[in-house]
Chain A
Amino acid sequence: MSIVRNAQGKEIRAKNKGFFRTLFSQWQLMVMSVPMLLYVLLFNYGPMWGWVTAFQDYKPKLGMLGSKFVGLKNFEWLFTRQDFINSIRNTLAMSVINLVFGTVSSILLAILLNEVRNRGFKRTVQTVTYLPHFLSMVIVVGMAQNIFSSNGAVNALLMNLGLVREPVFFLGEGKYFWWLVGVINVWKEVGWNTIIYISAMTAIDPCLYEAASIDGAGRFHKIMNVTLPGIRSTFVILLIMNIGHLMEAGFEIQYLLGSSVVMDWSQTIDVFVLQYGISKQQYGVATAAGMFKSIVAIILLVSANAISRRLGEDTLI
């Protein structure tokens, strides 16, 4: 932080100079960061002005200046509704399931791929597993609806194996919905999420493996004692980032796969906002729900970061 190079490439010590002198001596860097700063101000902070509508009975005809202020009424409306409470529960539940399933499956696959010595096979598996990432959710859900329907492949398999006597109603019973979303997400994203772990593994010094071999470690021991500790910091950073996204359980999959029969289990905050906020022109309520989501996300992110720092791990901020 204290050592920078000036335009001529000469190292200068900035530590003891004043803030403005430092600023001036690094003017090239400042200039370069201006577009980013503008971008963030314009697109991330500018729209926050719209949060005002969370406290209004907002009518597009009257605009933000003409609409009536109603205090916390929008929040009150939200939190007295059982289905909003349900949608918070569903959002968190599906997020946690996605996080656990997603992380475990991608680390497992990355380790398996890392152990494969045949490069052709490794590449093929990698390509095949990350291809679904590029499919639109509409297609994925359409396939899932076929596979999990009463006369679909999964039920046919279960019946032929004699595990169930009657087809399981996967798509129409609330208790299956969260897990179904988890499974579909794993199928779609496992290959993609693996990429980052594989790259972390390639950065591990081969000497460590050699040293472990000399010490008599087998394959399993090498995985436990070299590979896993080697990707720990990547894992922690990703975990913190994902915790910040816990309030985003996804929107498309629940919207497409859900039906009225499983509404109590499928509705996430985003779907709720769409149904009661946008469709019913309660823009104030929609903003209130969005604001609630952002605030919870910030709290989660900061606390995850703090816990990680306590434990002496890498931190994001």
Chain B
Amino acid sequence: MKKFLAAFLALAMIASLLPAALADGGLEPITLTVFRGDPGDQPDENNKIYKLIEEEFGIKFEFEFLAGDLDETLGLKIANEDYPDLFDGGNSADLIINNGALINLLDYISPEKTPRLWAHIEPQKARIIEKDAEGNDVLYIIPNYGLGEGEQIANEINGPAFFVQKQVLEWAGYPQIKTLNQYFDVLEKFLAANPTDENGSPYIGFDILCEDWRHFCLINPVQHLMGRPNDGEVLVDVSTPEYKTETFIDKPYAKAYYKKLNEEFHKGLISKDTFVMNYDQYIAQISSGTVLGMFDQTWDFGNATNALRTAKMDNKTYIALGLVYDPEYVDGKEIEEHYLNGSVPNIRRGFGISVNCKCPERIIAMWEEMLSEKWQLIFNWGIEGEDYYVENGRLLMTKEQFAQTQDSTWQKANKARAFFESSPKRQGWILEGEFAGNCWEPGNQPEIYFDQMTDYDKAFLSAYGYQKPADFVNPPIQLAPYGEAWQIDYTPVDIEHQDFLNIQDKRLPEMIMCDPAEFDAKWDAFVEEITPSATAFGDFMQQAILKEAAKVDPNVVLPE
């Protein structure tokens, strides 16, 4: 027995040395620790893409995904200086940047040393490269999305919108829904005619998710109803170079929206439970097909959409509508709808390299190589002949091949999502080489997007005479010079901002549920309560937006 054990141990030792000996190119194999600022799935051990990376670059990854609250997790990492090599701070990357957790990538990136990376950021460098407190150029994170090539692709609305189940519009005879009143009108009528679904579960008219940072479903709609794309919690007048900025939640035009919600609550469209629901319960509810409408962002309920598709409930998937206020709410003004914005570089989102990393050069060299056509196709399309095929210079997937890319179990073994999603990547159209005219991402490739749409969706769109879901809203407008205001780092007014949000989280649900006779008094009290923090936050954002805009717009005058 002892001998056997000894032999076994010896074998194990040799086996553990083998990969090291096999890795060629003289690069010492390393394992990088990686943190992702959002929840995710650990890839399979034998994932084929990570295997390729290991073979070519000698680099393995050890992923840690977010579990729990992001700011709390980052706060603890900062306090302990426990930084992974590749650090994605998610929506709160400002925290890790301001605490000095990331290295300045400009020390490693230049037109000579890294031509591909440079070409990738060059068109947007005015906004991507920032100034630190001492006035030096800094770049901590190469945006993970939004550096598209060629014409902007807008087949779907991937951001905020009012959503409605397709069956509601089908039932109502495919009406055009453009305003707040029309929207709630069609929901009310459908609910009155169909109180329950075919299994007897009651339909819910309108859901409002208020949990944690996802409370944008509750507090963001007003700016869109006023005709602006997503600027977070402020409304910006982009028609003049003064970029007048104000918080909108405390303004009379916001009152109209919450008063409308109060009415709908008393008509039974909104359930009390929606205000205490957590994200999982929300997704479960949507996945069951019983929620007729909500305000949200498409990516936020992607899992629910997939579940509905898998359950063959295509009629209960959602279409995004761009609603605006009816003129009666805004002194008779006609508002033009703008939900789609010009493509936004996702500034300060993605992987940064932490100060604890021992080999930043290796990571930069790897990213540089990965921006080649070969690697971008591997990440986006997979392995030729296995995951996709090429016909007359077109990149194509069969129905089965494309369907499996949506399957999370398959992805674990065949996609490098956890790494690729936060890495620099090329998006939009392939502009040169043998595949020029194709799309970088399979989902955007016209042959795949249009041919693989379900029959229900095709019929639904053709009933409206539309080609694609994005035809329900106006085409994208030009991106404002400051980008989108939600990207601005507001850590200097963090506490005021937190108060500003807390008051909204507390009072808005209260007002939606209150007796209509008390609404006006409650609203006035709310405005009074929120004014100090709203003013502090609004004033800060005004300055920040001007500063940001001045980088690209020479007409902007910075105040002294």
- B506 in contact with A264 (CB, 8 Å): yes
CA A276 to CA B75, docked complex, whole Å: 11
- B99 in contact with A260 (CB, 8 Å): no
Contacts A145-B281, A260-B509 given; indicate if A281 touches B75 (C-beta within 8 A). Answer: yes
Count of B interface residues, CB-CB < 8 Å: 30
- B494 in contact with A280 (CB, 8 Å): yes
CA A274 to CA B498, docked complex, whole Å: 13
**A269 proximal to B (CB < 8 A):** no
Q: Which of B57-65, B268-276, B296-304 lines the interface with chain A? A: B268-276
Contacts A61-B100, A150-B272, A263-B505 given; indicate if A280 touches B498 (C-beta within 8 A). Answer: yes
Q: Which residues of B contact A61 (CB under 8 A)?
A: 99-100
- A261 in contact with B78 (CB, 8 Å): no
Contacts A259-B210, A260-B210 given; indicate if A274 touches B506 (C-beta within 8 A). Answer: no
- B215 in contact with A260 (CB, 8 Å): yes
- A278 in contact with B72 (CB, 8 Å): yes
Q: In the complex, which of the residues B95, B211, B276, B498 has the most CB atoms of chain A within 10 Å of its own CB atom?
A: B276
Chain B 496-522 near chain A by CB (<8 Å), digits 1 or 0: 001000100110011001000000000
- B272 in contact with A172 (CB, 8 Å): yes
**A160 proximal to B (CB < 8 A):** no
- A260 in contact with B72 (CB, 8 Å): no
- B81 in contact with A60 (CB, 8 Å): yes
Contacts A261-B509, A263-B506, A276-B495 given; indicate if A283 touches B276 (C-beta within 8 A). Answer: no
Docked complex: A102-147 residues within 8 A CB-CB of B: 145
Q: Which residues of A contact B18 (CB under 8 A)?
A: none
Chain A 226-263 near chain B by CB (<8 Å), digits 1 or 0: 00000000000000000000000000000000011111
**A149 proximal to B (CB < 8 A):** yes
- A261 in contact with B99 (CB, 8 Å): no
Q: Which residues of B contact A278 (CB under 8 A)?
A: 71-72, 75-76, 79
Of B95, B100, B272, which one neighbours A169 at CB under 8 angstroms? B272
Contacts A150-B273, A169-B272, A280-B498 given; indicate if A259 touches B100 (C-beta within 8 A). Answer: no
CA A263 to CA B275, docked complex, whole Å: 12
Helix, strand, loop or mixed for chain B's interface? Answer: helix
Contacts A259-B210, A260-B210, A261-B506 given; indicate if A280 touches B276 (C-beta within 8 A). Answer: no
**A279 proximal to B (CB < 8 A):** yes
Q: Which residue of A lies closest to B70 (CB)?
A: A279
B556: shortest Cβ distance to chain A, in Å? 30
CA A172 to CA B69, docked complex, whole Å: 22
Docked complex: A75-124 residues within 8 A CB-CB of B: 83
CA A281 to CA B92, docked complex, whole Å: 12
- A281 in contact with B95 (CB, 8 Å): yes
Q: Which residue of A lies closest to B69 (CB)?
A: A279
Q: Which residue of A lies closest to B202 (CB)?
A: A151
Contacts A263-B502, A274-B72, A279-B69 given; indicate if A150 touches B210 (C-beta within 8 A). Answer: no
- A279 in contact with B71 (CB, 8 Å): yes
Q: Which residue of A lies closest to B92 (CB)?
A: A279
Contacts A60-B79, A261-B275, A283-B79 given; indicate if A275 touches B99 (C-beta within 8 A). Answer: no
CA A111 to CA B506, docked complex, whole Å: 44
CA A260 to CA B216, docked complex, whole Å: 13
Q: Which residues of A contact B494 (CB under 8 A)?
A: 280-281
A289: shortest Cβ distance to chain B, in Å? 14
Q: Which residues of B contact A171 (CB under 8 A)?
A: 273, 276
Of A60, A149, A150, which one neighbours B99 at CB under 8 angstroms? A60
Contacts A60-B99, A274-B72 given; indicate if A149 touches B273 (C-beta within 8 A). Answer: yes
CA A172 to CA B76, docked complex, whole Å: 30
Q: Which residues of A contact B505 (CB under 8 A)?
A: 260-261, 263
Q: Which residues of A contact B278 (CB under 8 A)?
A: 145, 259
Docked complex: B186-215 residues within 8 A CB-CB of A: 210-211, 215
Docked complex: A262-286 residues within 8 A CB-CB of B: 262-264, 274-276, 278-283
Interface residues of A (CB under 8 A from B): 59-61, 83, 145, 149-151, 167, 169, 171-172, 259-264, 274-276, 278-283
Beyond known contacts A172-B275, A263-B505, A280-B71: 9 more, CB 8 A cutoff: A60-B81, A61-B100, A145-B276, A150-B272, A172-B509, A259-B278, A278-B79, A280-B75, A280-B495
9 contacting pairs across A/B (C-beta < 8 A): A145-B276, A169-B272, A172-B273, A172-B513, A260-B505, A261-B276, A261-B505, A275-B498, A280-B498
Interface residues of B (CB under 8 A from A): 69, 71-72, 75-76, 78-79, 81, 95, 99-100, 210-211, 215, 271-273, 275-276, 278, 281, 494-495, 498, 502, 505-506, 509-510, 513
